Structure formats: C-alpha cells, structure tokens
Amino acid sequence: MESRSHATAAVVAVVFFLSAMALPAAAAIVEHTFVVSQMNMTHLCKETLVTVVNGQLPGPTIEVTEGDSVTVHVINKSPYNITIHWHGVKQRLNCWADGVPMITQCPILPNHNFTYRFNVTGQEGTLWWHAHVPCLRATLHGALIIRPRHGPSSYPFPKPDREIPIIIGEWWQVDLAVVDWNLRYYLNDYDPSASTINGKLGDLYNCSGVMEDGYVLDMEPGKTYLLRVINAALFSEYYFKIAGHKFTVVATGANYVSPYTTDVIPIAPGETVDVLVVADAAPGRYYMVALPNQSPKPEGQSPLIITRGMVQYSNNHSSYRDKEGAGGPSGDVPMAPEMPDQHDRMTSFYFHGNLTSLHHSQRLPPAHVDEHLFITLGLGSVCRRGQSCTRSGSQESIVVATMNNFTFQLPAATTPLLEEHYYNSSMMDTLQELPDAPPRVFNFTDHALIPEGPKEAQLEPTSKAALARRFRYGAAVELVFQSTAVMQSESNPMHLHGHDMFVLAQGLGNYDPARDVARYNLVDPPVLNTVQVPSLGWAAVRFVADNPGIWYMHCHYEFHLSMGMTALFIVEDGTTVDTSLPPPPSNFPTCGNDNNLVPDEFYLQTRKSEVSHINGV
Ligand code: C2O
C-alpha cells in the first residue's frame, strides 16, 4: 500500500506549488489522472475481472493540504458508465463536481473523459473517493487525506511518527454490475467471498493450501502511528482491532473529536475514523483483524468473512524469539485479538454514542430549527407491473428499500437533474416531496415484523418516486432517522452529500420526542457526513442547508442504495452570488442514450445465464 501509493504519486500525481516559500504552505493544485479500466486479479484460485483505477486496488491515495485545489482527470476505459464521488468533501458552491450520475452530471461514458475540480477547505482528516455507480465502488475507491495547512505540528494531538491508511474492503468473485442488477429487481442475494485490509485478504483465506497475503504494518517500538481507517465495503459494518494495542480516536469524517480511548473501532460503510496507536507493547507480532457484524436470526445470515493483517515490531523481530515469555507473544504465533461477536450491535452503539466534537466552541449546532423531518428507514414492496399485486414475498412484487414508505426512482430525464434545477425547468415540478413523517405510526421496532408475513404486509403501502425535499438557503433542519424492523433489522449508515451533520443523540427502540429531545447534545455533538442509525433504534441530527444544489441523502449499505433508500435534498439559492449555485463547468459531459450503469437490455440479451430467472421484468 505504502510503496504502491508512492509509486503512483511519482507516476500520475503532479503537484504544482504556487509558492513553496511561504509558511504556512500556500494553496496548491494537486493533480491526478485516474484511468478506469478492467483487469484480471486472482484470489482464492479464481481469476476475476475487476474494474479499477490505475491498475490498483485500492486505488490511488489523494493527499492534500487543507485549502488546496484538487484536479482529477478521469479517463474511462471501462465498459461502464462511471462517475467519481468525493465522499465527505463539502463541495461548497460546487455541486457540479459531486459525482452522482444523472443527478449532478451525466455519467462519463466508456471511452470518454472528464476532469473534476474541487477545493478542500475547512476540513482536515480522512475522507475517501469512490465510484458512485452501484456496487462498482467495491473496487473503485481510495483514500483522500487532508492535512492541516500549518503542518503536522498543528494536529490537535501528539504528532504521529507515521500515517497509514487502513482501507477495509471486500473481495467479490462475481460481476458487480450483475449484483446491482439483481438487487434492483430483488432476485438473488450475493455475498462477498472475502473481506480485505488494504486490498489483501489475509491468511484466514487459502485455496489449495496456499494462504492469501495479508497486510503487514511494521512498527518501531515507542513510535506513534496515525491510522486512517476507512470502510469501503459494500455490505457490512466492521469491528477492527489490533491485539495488545489500544486506539485513541482523534477524528471521524474529517472532523476532530475529543480523544477517546478504545480497543475496538466499529466502522460502518462510508465512515472514516482516525486513530492513534502507540507501539508500546512487548516486541513481537500482533494480528489486526476486521470482522463484519450482522443482525441475528431470524434474518438471513451471510457467511462470516473475517480478514486479518499483522503488526510487526520491525527491529525486534529476531530478538523477540529469544525473549519468549517476556510479556510478548510466545513462540512464532502472533497474538490474536479477542473480537466482539458477529451479532453484537451494542459495541457499535456505545462507540458512536461516546463521540464528542473537539472544537465545539467554534461550531455549535443550530439551536433553533426551521424544519423537522422524521424519516423511517425500512423495506417495503412494489408491484413489478401495474398498481395491484400480491405482496409479501410473492413473485409479483419486488422488495425495495424505503424512506417514509417511498423508494427512490431516478426521474426519467436525459439531462442531469441539477441542470434542470439550474435552468428552472418544469421537470422539477414532477418530483415527489419527501413527507415530514411516515404515513402511519406503529411500533417501528417490533421484532414480529422481521420475518416477511401478514403483519409487515399491512404496513407497506410503498410507492416508487423521484423523492426530494426542498430547503430554503440557510434553513436549519432536524432529521430523526428511525430504523424499522420491517422485514429486517439492519442498522443504516445514512450519508448526506455536501453537508456535515451534528449528531445530537441516538437511542434504541422508537424515538419519542417527549423523552428524547431532552437528551440532545447541543454542546459538543460529533460532526459527521455519515451517521450510523442503530439497528432497531434512531439517531437525531441537525444541519444547516447552506450549500446550494441537489444533494444525495442515502444509506451507505449498497444493497439499500441499489434498492432505493435515497432522497434528494435540494438547497435553493440565497440572495447573493456567494450563496448561489454557479453555472455548470464548461467541460461538462453530455449524456448518452442510456445513462444507467448498464441497460436492462444488456442483461436480458447478453447475460441471461448470469441472472436468475426473471419473472415479469
Ligand atoms: Cu460515499 Cu453517495 O456516497
């Protein structure tokens, strides 16, 4: 990973320093070229065709200083329509660069190019980039690291000796475009074959007795390491541990938090967590392990895919053998961490509930709220054809993922919605407003709703629509996300583009304003772009809609995203140039005839054997 990203930096990244003299460093333009193409990779004795950037998995790391400008030339040599999203970058007055296909831009068609330009201002820490094309982000992603303008000595924590990205991901041995297609029509369940740390599967996986390579981090005794942990996996929240070591959490989502000590990092898809690790254990070798968690039965269970790498004390590797029993791991067997159970959701709940922001005095959440939304997250079903059909597991209906009983459908347009919005087209009137609350109130977290059946069927009058909500510029918005038990009890990592959210409170069971508003942290809430809404629980957030444009708000579990758990937040212009969306960039791509990832026809004609039997599609 390290050497790979340095090599990449040498080959593709050209940094033009406008001035190298001044301290603090003057703003620079950091330039990269991303060539998206397909290549074969072999793991577990099987060669798989994967779509990657610059032949790397994970893709190149973008390293910048706060306030820099970033230019990324994307050259699409893959057969897919591609966009790249800069996850967590606020894109102030720059919604055009947010990278959501058919919302902010036409996708970059095969054999086409597009250059993204954006600034990273007012954010420090770890973010990441990924394709915003359903499922393809499993192999099209990388770290985006923003360092302080005044240099590493201005970190609000002891200056680390080294900084290491740790990207948790998954290895898929199926065509990811097929996975997306199946999720959209709720046909087949797919599972990843393995999980990965920095692209390596690790020695818990072998094929024909040959172990997979694992990620190895060499540590020097006494030194401090800043691990920038990113969950790029499609499907699971992970627990991450290093045997014999503790973490001090210092930032999440490129916002500093009050230092928090823990021996386990729960990290949901879309989240980033920066932690300090001090090499203060007895010299030796220690496993680092990432284990996905999942809801217990009666829900369907995915095979448990655990990955592990290793921390190894470099200059003591030979001597520790002689010191067997001297406090370090004995013999040649590295020490393994004790992991939480795969069905443990409370470790995540407490971790997320314990975070508080560091620089709270400068950034308080809005005390007064203009708009309140209560949003239920769950599953539902819509008829494959027509208005009426048998639901609840019947072949006539498709299971979809919902917010307040709506599932998202892209508006039928040949122009990205942001252009329609910018030019005030009447198309915008056809959007469905995301209601303030679900159509009915029931016991949202009733366990009896989990297995598909009559109880759940009564509650799911679900519709498909281009779901959107308008906010006037500067509106203070409160969102309460309520996870429900309708057909499943997953947690929901809810991600908002273009804005950070103050996370005021979370709880288990049903949200009750009479009880829960009093628990809001209005003093030092953590500030996140992705909030993990607990399984069978809720989370309350506030944000200020002060970035004009159209912003995706969605669950970062890819199956929920492909199944429609998305809404658009439209932030209107303010009254000045500084508060209004500028015109589209001049080099903006134009749309093709089919702007989906891959057209349905493509599957029906060429991939019949790969997709399961389709009833009525
Ligand atoms: Cu990380 Cu809309 O995504």
Q: Find where tokens 């080959």 sit.
A: 11
Return the ligand 1 atom nearest residue 554 CA.
Answer: 2
**CB–CB of 506/537 below 8 Å?**
yes
Q: Are residues 402 and 348 in the same domain?
A: no
Where do runs of H (alpha helix) occur along 306-379?
A: 319-322, 346-353
Claim to verify: residue 123 and residue 234 sit in the same structural domain = yes
Whether the per-residue pLDDT at 485 is higher than 60: the answer is yes
- Distance in Å, CA 534 to ligand 1 centroid: 19
CATH number at residue 250: 2.60.40.420
- Return the ligand 1 atom nearest residue 552 CA: 2
Q: Could you tell me if 135 and 254 lie in one domain?
A: yes
Q: Which atom of ligand 1 is nearest to the CA of 269?
A: 1
Enumerate residues 6+ apart whose C-beta is below 8 A from 98.
Answer: 85, 86, 91, 104, 105, 497, 498, 549, 551, 552
Q: Name residues whose C-beta falls within 8 Å of residue 184's C-beta, 6 or more positions apart in sequence.
A: 134, 562, 563
Whole-number Å distance, alpha carbon 19 to ligand 1 midpoint, is 34
pLDDT of residue 22: 41
Q: Is 585 among the domain residues?
A: no
**Ligand 1 environment, Cβ below 6 A:** 85, 87, 130, 132, 270, 495, 497, 552, 554, 556
Q: Which two tokens stand for residue 571?
A: 């932030």
Q: Is residue 592 part of a domain?
A: no
Mean pLDDT of the chain: 89
In angstroms, how far is CA 549 from the centroid of its own chain? Answer: 21
Chain segment 459-476, per-residue pLDDT in tens: 777 899 999 999 999 999
Residues 486 and 555 in one domain: yes
The whole-model pTM stands at 0.92
352 and 377: one domain? no
Q: Are residues 286 and 407 in the same domain?
A: no
Are residues 335 and 439 located together in one domain of the fold?
no
**Please, which residues have CB within 8 angstroms of residue 383's CB and are 6 or more apart in sequence?**
389, 391, 396, 397, 398
In a domain, 589, yes or no: no
Of the candidates 533, 556, 535, which has an alpha carbon nearest to the alpha carbon of residue 374?
A: 533
Model confidence at 329: pLDDT above 70: no
Instruction: Look at residue 590 and tell me if it is in a domain.
Output: no
Whether 239 and 380 map to the same domain: the answer is no
Contact 540, 520 (CB under 8 A): yes
Q: Which conformational region is residue 8 in: left (phi greater than 0), alpha (psi within -120 to 50 degrees), or beta?
A: alpha
For residue 100, which atom of ligand 1 is closest to its CA?
2
Counting from 1 in the atom list of ligand 1, the atom nearest the Cα of 87 is 1
Do 336 and 371 share a domain, yes or no? Answer: no
What separation in Å is there between the alpha carbon of 151 and the centre of ligand 1?
29
Q: Is residue 64 part of a domain?
A: yes
Structure tokens at 184: 């959209």
Q: Is 575 part of any domain? A: yes
Q: Tell me the CA–centroid distance for residue 550 and ligand 1, in Å.
A: 14
* Widest Cα–Cα separation across the chain: 77
- DSSP-derived 3-state class of residue 449: helix
- Same domain assignment for residues 399 and 345: no
- The SS3 call for residue 10 is helix
Distance (angstroms) between ligand 1 centre and the Cα of 311 equals: 31
Q: Is residue 598 part of a domain?
A: no
Provide the number of structural domains found in the chain.
2
pLDDT at 95: 98
Distance 374 CA to ligand 1 centre (A): 21
Q: Whose CA is nearest to atom 1 of ligand 1?
A: 87
Q: What is the CA radius of gyration of the chain?
A: 24
Atom of ligand 1 nearest to the CA of 561: 2
- pLDDT for residue 137 is more than 90: yes
Going by alpha carbons, the residue nearest to atom 3 of ligand 1 is: 87
Residue 355 lies inside a defined structural domain of this protein: yes
Q: Which of 532, 439, 447 is nearest to 481 (CA)?
A: 532
Strand ordering across the sheet containing 247-252? 194-197, 162-171, 224-231, 272-278, 247-252, 255-262
Q: What separation, in Å, do the N-terminal and C-terminal C-alpha atoms of the chain show?
A: 43
Quick one: 45 exposed, middle or buried, by C-beta within 10 A (0-12, 13-18, 19+)?
exposed
pLDDT tens, residue by residue, 45-90: 999 999 999 999 999 999 999 999 999 999 999 999 999 999 999 9
How many Å lie between the centroid of ligand 1 and the Cα of residue 206?
32
Distances (CA, A) of 593 to 99, 180, 413, 597, 598: 19, 20, 11, 12, 11
pLDDT band at 134 (very low <50, low <70, confident <90, very high): confident
* Predicted pLDDT at 331: 53
| Ligand 1 midpoint to CA 556 (Å) | 6
Q: What is the DSSP letter of 329?
A: -
* Of 581, 563, 377, the residue nearest 479 (C-alpha): 377
Give the structural domain span for 69: 29-360
pLDDT of residue 45: 94
Beta bridge partners of 32: 72
270 C-alpha vs ligand 1 centroid, how far in Å?
A: 7
Kindly tell me if the per-residue pLDDT of 172 is higher than 50.
Answer: yes
Mean pLDDT value of segment 557-572: 95
Nearest atom of ligand 1 to the alpha carbon of 497 = 2
Shared domain for 228 and 181, answered yes or no, is: yes
| Residue reference for tokens 């820490």 | 125
Q: Are 377 and 533 in contact (CB under 8 A)?
A: yes
